[in-house]
Structure 1
Amino acid sequence: MSECVAFARRPLDFAPMTKIREAVEADTPVIYEMIKELALYEKEPDSVTSTEEDVRTHLFGENPSVFALVADNDGVLEGMALWFLSYSTWEGRHGIWLEDLYVREEHRGKGLGTALLQELARIAVDNDYRRVEWTVLKWNTPSIGFYEAMGAGDMGEWSTMRLDGDALRVLGSTRD
């Protein structure tokens, strides 16, 4: 049995009252709190420039472009996964880009991260999406080990590139 299959078959050790479900609009304030907590964990607390209203609009507005799963223990949100659709021209299929996976510190080690990723994988499989992708900070070895234990792999030769801030504005304003 492969390591990732063995990992997937391990029983999850989270409270029986915790359910993985789609986020609803009333979850927005706590989702936003968790976004800020994740930024603090990633040593970038001042990088969060979004507002709670931004999150609400993009998750629950007229044309949502971002989706969220939450780990809900009888009304207490213990973790979340925020994601959106990507697309592979090579495969001609959508994928999922996992923007944030976060479990609150006091709830870590109970299988919630695994349960959130399992539900995301189920969504991908059920919709014939071909992949779930994300980035992880190189120093975040606990998360890297967690992802590798589930069968995820480093993209090796591929680097994530970003165009933002002044560079984005300059490039966007030079178009004829």
Structure 2
Amino acid sequence: MGLDSVELLFEIEENFGIQIPDLEAEKIYTVGDFADTIYKKIKTVPNQKCLTQVVFYRIRQAMVIMGNVRDNISPDSKISELLPIGNVQAEWERLQKEVQLKFPELVKMDIDKTIEQEVKLFGIKIYKRTEPVTEHSIKKLIDWVISLNFKQLIDIEQISNKYEVERIVAGIISEKMGIRINKIELRHSITDDLGVD
């Protein structure tokens, strides 16, 4: 484990009020491994409210205010198909303001659809651009919004399920390591995929 990984481990231990022994920490490779390790160490409290449902309703209500038909908005709906035509950045900010929660930042390809996904030099692919945020589903947006707003949406003393742990871990990684939330997946290796040394 490098210094950044150790710092991340301390941050997660502090947030959850747990200790992860060195032998267990050495076995944590992915974001999902982190969530699994934490989930085994905490007590859960049954909760009647479904967090994803609450956030979905807030997003749907905001999209209706922005001119969408309520029945056309589902968790599987593509974000770009629900944003009004025009200035994507301004509409994204308006949506975020209506929902009153922090949203992931848009990438260049969200704003300019003519940008190619691959960056090439002399015909050789150098790297692939970050996939547009708005090309994902509302369900994915809900995951990102919950992660970015975990301190506001999840009572860490009243965790009710593993999903909440996963969202908190993703939020901490994004916040502390400066990684865009839309680049963090449970299957991602902390070091190889996310670049945390």
Fold match by TM threshold 0.5: no
TM-score class normalised by the smaller sequence: under 0.3
- Scaled by the length of structure 2, what TM-score is found? 0.26
- Scaled by the length of structure 1, what TM-score is found? 0.28
| Greater gyration radius | 2
Give 1 or 2: higher strand fraction: 1
The structure showing larger relative contact order (alpha-carbon pairs under 8 Å, at least 6 residues apart) is: 2
Give 1 or 2: higher helix fraction: 2
